[in-house]
Amino acid sequence: MENNSEIVFVLEGLNDSLTNRQIYFAFALMSYLFTIFVNLMLIVTICLEKTLHEPIYILLCNLCFNGICGASSFYPKLLHDLLADSHVITYVGCLTQIFVVYSYVFCEFTSLTVMAYDRYLAICRPLQYRALMTPQKVAQLLLLTWCFTLLETVVGTFLTARLPLCGRHVRKIFCTNWEVVKLSCSDTTLNNIYGFILMFSHVSQTGLILVSYGHLVRASLRSRSDRRKFVQTCLPHLVTLLVFTISLMFDTMYSRYGSSGLLQALQNTLAAEFLVVPPLINPLIYGIKLQQIRSRILQNLTHKPDFLKTRS
């Protein structure tokens, strides 16, 4: 058994020909650039437009920032490997990727929970909303989101880092905690227990979101304005939750129970969907559905520069 820090993992998910990998590279690069573009556009639009400095939009900025972090934990290494002859990653690099990937996952769940709480107050307790969701309260919720996220990730990464490893072949195109834990040659009971604790935590968060939506649906039936508010702000949030949960479920179920007989391209798709799809479509869903953001983005895109105005 060698020192863990000297281990170089072999990523076995990219065994296609160079021609195929070049095609994948083109699609991956376009997807990554477009993901960064749409998330940054939403963040910049909200930051520059004072009328959008509302709690829901600030929380949406945090969701988009987290999407950029999640995409950036995956795409740069993938783009490098698609054009490289060998697909390896150092032990430290693997743990770093695990840390960022799982920070993204945990922050996404917590952010969506906080956003559901905001929508609950806005629709079910509208008269108290301004008093309850003050700028200080929003800052505290964002701080709590990231502190809780980082705490979960630090503990999980530490439990993985302490394991002696007897293997170096990772069956995916990127490092995940489960794949590294499976390479351990010692008892992983503590890791499994912590995994169940995390699963219970995030199932509980999902339950809180669904309970809040039960209240939101009942409240939205009271008036036309409440129904409009629900459709405009809650429906995108619900779609985002479903997309992320289903994407993550695909990866979790495949990692533990998937068959190695599947086509490699399909295996890679199932493994990476939660890092590709939510960061890409979240800003599109909110940008299209939220009228204030949509109109502001269209205004910015069609706005003539000052020097063109003066010439015309």
Which CATH number do you get for residue 262? 1.20.1070.10
- Between 181 and 222, the more confident residue is 181
**Residue 308 pLDDT:** 45
Q: Is the pLDDT of residue 310 over 60?
A: no
DSSP 9: E
Sign of the CA dihedral 222, 228, 229, 232?
positive
pTM: 0.86
Average pLDDT over residues 51-59: 89
Q: Which of 242, 102, 275, 245 is nearest to 179 (CA)?
A: 102
**Residue 289 pLDDT:** 65
Angstrom distance (rounded) from CA 32 to CA 35: 5
**Residue 260 pLDDT:** 59
List pLDDT tens digits, range 130-150.
Answer: 999 999 999 999 999 999 999
Q: Which of 271, 279, 102, 296 is nearest to 194 (CA)?
A: 102
Angstrom distance (rounded) from CA 243 to CA 101: 17
Q: Is the pLDDT of residue 1 over 70?
A: no
**Residue 301 pLDDT:** 66
Average pLDDT over residues 160-164: 91
Tally of CB atoms within 10 A around 37: 11
Question: By residue range, what is the domain housing residue 293?
Answer: 4-311
List pLDDT tens digits, range 238-272.
Answer: 777 788 887 777 777 766 665 555 666 777 777 78
Q: Which range among 110-114, 119-123, 295-299 has the greatest average pLDDT?
A: 110-114
- Between 293 and 159, the more confident residue is 159
The total of structural domains in the chain comes to: 1
Q: Is the pLDDT of residue 28 over 80?
A: yes
Q: Which range among 7-11, 14-18, 212-216, 300-304 has the greatest average pLDDT?
A: 7-11
